[in-house]
Amino acid sequence: MGKPNLLVDFDGVIHRYVSEWRGPARIPDPPVPGAIKFLCEAQEYFRVCIYSSRSCQFLGKWAMKRWIRKHFIYQVLWQNNEALMHWTIQGGNNPESKTEVRKAANRLVKSLRFPTNKPRAFLTIDDRCVCFTGHFLRPSELINFKPWNK
């Protein structure tokens, strides 16, 4: 039957998104701490689908893939992130080699899904949502909503 879909929003969940929107192909901010490690680990349990307002544009999908690859490489080679080094080694790669780390980053990006349309999901992680509990909040309560990073 396969793994269930885990739908993860990009901006504000993976990408810190503290700068203003600069278009689908420009992603200026660093990752939310732990985001790259989470993407690696979540694949053990889920088919990880990254979905964003960028997703419907070719350059947006390309930019998200490039950004994830870049930050994986940076965290392994320059920050010595132990968890990501372990993930690199699990793929049979040597975390000391820049070429092997790049291969591991490519393997990560290829294992993620970047759907153009919002897929059905077992669970969604998004910074701009309210978990529905069976009771509707008043619109006056919703208007003051702020995501975690604002």
The verdict on residue 45 lying in a domain is yes
The verdict on residue 26 lying in a domain is yes
Range of the domain at 119: 5-142
Q: What is the pLDDT of residues 91-120, one digit of tens each?
A: 666 666 778 788 888 989 999 999 999 999
Question: How many folded domains does the chain comprise?
Answer: 1
pLDDT value for 150: 82
The verdict on residue 150 lying in a domain is no
The verdict on residue 69 lying in a domain is yes
Mean pLDDT calculated for residue range 34-56: 94
The verdict on residue 148 lying in a domain is no
The verdict on residue 137 lying in a domain is yes
3-class secondary structure for the chain? CCCCEEEEECECCCECCCCCCCCCCCCCCCECCCHHHHHHHHCCCCEEEEECCCCCCHHHHHHHHHHHHHHHHHHHHCCCCHHHHHHHHHCCCCCCCHHHHHHHHHHHHHHCECCCCCCCCCEEECCCCCCCCCCCCCHHHHCCCCCCCC
The verdict on residue 147 lying in a domain is no
